[in-house]
Amino acid sequence: MNTKLHAICDSQGRPLNLFVTAGQVSDYIGARVLLGSLPDVDWLLGDRGYDADWFREALKDKGIRACIPGRKQRKRTVKYDKRRYKRRNRIEIMFGRLKDWRRVATRYDRCPKVFLSAIALAATVIYWL
Q: By C-alpha distance, which of 82, 92, 122 is closest to 106? A: 122
**36 pLDDT above the threshold of 90:** no
Name the percent of the chain lying above pLDDT 70: 99
Q: State how far the Cα of 103 lies from the Cα of 119, in Å rounded to an integer.
A: 9
Mean predicted confidence (pLDDT) in 88-104 = 92
Residue ranges of domains in the chain = 3-128
C-alpha Rg value of the chain to the nearest Å: 15
How much is the pLDDT for 1? 62
CATH code of the domain made up of 3-128 = 3.30.420.10
Q: For the whole model, what pTM was predicted? A: 0.83
Mean pLDDT over the full length of the chain: 90
End-to-end CA distance of the chain: 31
Q: Is the pLDDT of residue 2 over 70?
A: yes
* Residue-level pLDDT at 66: 92
For residue 109, CA distances in Å to 9, 92, 102, 112 come to 24, 23, 11, 7
Residue 94 reports pLDDT greater than 70: yes
- Separation between Cα atoms, residue 17 and residue 9, nearest integer Å: 7
Confidence check: pLDDT of 129 > 90: no
Which of 57, 51, 47 is CA-nearest to residue 7?
47
For 40-92, how does the pLDDT look when each residue is reduced to its tens digit (9 = 90+)? 899 999 988 889 899 999 999 999 999 999 988 888 888 888 999 999 899 99
